[in-house]
Amino acid sequence: MSSAEAPGTGTPGPTAPGTGPTAPGTGTGPAAPDAPAPDRAGRPRALRSHQWYGTDGLRSFSHRARTRQLGYLPEEHLGKPVVAILNTWSDINPCHVHLRDRAQAVKRGVWQAGGFPLEFPVSTLSETFQKPTPMLYRNLLAMEAEELLRSYPVDGAVLLGGCDKSTPALLMGAASVDLPTVFVPAGPMLPGHWRGEVLGSGTDMWKYWDEKRAGRIGDCELAELESGLARSPGHCMTMGTASTLTAAAEALGVTMPGASSIPAVDSGHDRMAAAAGLRIVELVREDLRLSRILTREAYEDAVTTVLGLGGSTNAVIHLIAMAGRSGVRLTLDDFDRIARTVPVLANLRPGGRYLMEDFHFAGGLPGFLSRLTDLLHLDRPTVAHRTLREQLAGALVHDPEVIRPRDKPLAEEGGLAVLRGNLCPDGAVVKHIAAEQHLRRHTGPAVVFDDYRTMQRTIDDPALGITADHVLVLRNAGPKGGPGMPEYGMLPIPDHLLKQGVRDMVRISDARMSGTSYGMCVLHVAPESYVGGPLALVRTGDLITLDVDARSLHLHVDEAELAERRAAWTAPVHPYERGYGALYQEQVTQADTGCDFAFLSRPGSVPEPYAG
């Protein structure tokens, strides 16, 4: 399919009924009988919503009466697929500020296909504004999505999101319920502009902030940049976390073809949302559930996609968590194994040159995946086609500089590397494609900061004597220590080094970093320092060696000394005494296993609610 074709117009997906959920924490749901008796409207009883609307009991009478209270006629909803539209719109989420309109387009499609749409407002995770980090609340949105879909009379779902944590959160929740589902990505914003330069949100923010600290631009230039960096609704238009995760969702097969790269304000985005509304009704009638889509093969293809795009390190955590909800065990070793086989073909910032609008008109994800078909599982289903092979048929690349051919990759191997060593026994990750390559193998003395606030206050202190050869180390910024594993991992370079022209150093932390960030930043060190991982034992002056090619991160301190330090270490006091934060501290897992909650990721069934 060419990226210029309207999404949702291809061959319908599989017609075989879903096999039911396999993910941890899911129930089997009501089985469709072989010859269902008609409901009050003369239609089959197979719909899940029939339990609420179609029986002769008091509760069903009440549900119908309350639906009349909402202003709906019986003909508008009885016996029709009820579609939940989970909308993460809010006034303070610039990535999603247009999703109120997109929900109307989805409804339009649902109505046209003979379904009954219901819009549900759910938590909005605004990467820009929510503190201490929206990662703290990813699992909260996942819980909300799961419980809404399970507890209301819905037969299928359309999920509206795109800002970094909303994509994995919505899909984690939906996977745990296992209804027919389509994801509608929010879409990237328009490219930024400033004094003749094309700007990428996030990436150029970091760049010009350092130029300001280095004294190369002033307050007037910075004020102009504030107005030129983010020009429209939509998520970051670089290959940051938002674009990485929506591309992964498309690769998984849960979006309409080409959906992930359509600019948020393009009229094609509205049409894609309407196509998703049309398709979800068909999926409900086919009973094509998420468990049929989110298979082991689909997750491997999503990893391949992320690596070939030079995507965000955050995708490692999120895909592991998403896979866990689908009953698929995905590990850091899978990422490292696949990374060694996948070239980076997307010439996109922060590792390359172009932005998402360029990528879209170069062929989008269908064109990109057409370059990698030998590495993909082509015979698995998607929500739009019987197979991924059908979905990619006819896909074209229109600009080989934006989407490189296989013989001219941006890099020979995937843009992420998984590290092991005595400093990260459970692993760490580094996005080496977006770093200065002379740092791929580096040994230097550590400069240790115990927390982010201390680092902010002291990083520019000349008394620390930091040189370009030092290794900056931040701890207590992981899942529990952050709390929520904030995007602190792109530690600032001291201003005296910036003024000397230094733009990259080796930096190590148990934090994450924005997908729009760059530099030789070792992230997600596991176990984190807050729970006593080796990072807690590092002292200023200790030598550390990073070797990306050897996939190694080593602390040059002998085991006897480390044992003494470990014996002297004391665990920090938990900051949350009550509330969601206390639940988070108690239940969140480590980075290498996806930072899900233990009680949500473990195997087990959940019964369907009794509707009375």
Residues 432 and 559 in one domain: yes
Tell me if 27 is assigned to some domain: no
Q: How many other β-carbons are positioned within 10 Å of the β-carbon of residue 371?
A: 21
* Residues in contact with 197: Cβ distance below 8 Å, sequence separation at least 6, in sequence order: none
Q: How many other β-carbons are positioned within 10 Å of the β-carbon of residue 70?
A: 9
Residues 167 and 255 in one domain: yes
Residues 144 and 260 in one domain: yes
Domain that holds residue 378: 80-190+232-392
For the chain, how many structural domains are there in total?
A: 2
Q: How many other β-carbons are positioned within 10 Å of the β-carbon of residue 503?
A: 16
The residue behind tokens 């931040």 is 474
What was the pLDDT predicted at 46? 81
Per-residue model confidence as pLDDT tens digits over 177-232 = 999 999 999 999 999 999 999 999 999 999 999 999 999 999 999 999 999 999 99
Left (φ > 0), alpha (ψ -120 to 50) or beta: where does 275 sit? alpha
**Secondary structure (DSSP) of 399-456:** -TTTB--TTS-SBSS-S-EEEBSTT-TT-EEE-GGGS-GGGSEEEEEEEEESSHHHHH
Residues 320 and 434 in one domain: no
Residues 501 and 432 in one domain: yes
Residues 380 and 464 in one domain: no
Query: What is the three-class DSSP state of 348?
Result: strand
What was the pLDDT predicted at 16? 33
> Between these two residues, 19 and 266, which has the higher pLDDT value?
266
* Residues in contact with 41: Cβ distance below 8 Å, sequence separation at least 6, in sequence order: 54, 74, 78, 79
Per-residue model confidence as pLDDT tens digits over 388-420 = 999 999 999 999 999 999 999 999 999 899 999
pTM for the whole thing?
Answer: 0.93
pLDDT band at 14 (very low <50, low <70, confident <90, very high): very low
301 has pLDDT over 50: yes
Residues 340 and 452 in one domain: no
Helical packing angle, 166-177 and 241-252, nearest 10°: 30
Residues 242 and 316 in one domain: yes
Tell me if 128 is assigned to some domain: yes
Residues 388 and 495 in one domain: no
Tell me if 611 is assigned to some domain: no
Q: How many other β-carbons are positioned within 10 Å of the β-carbon of residue 112?
A: 12
What is the CATH number for 494?
3.50.30.80
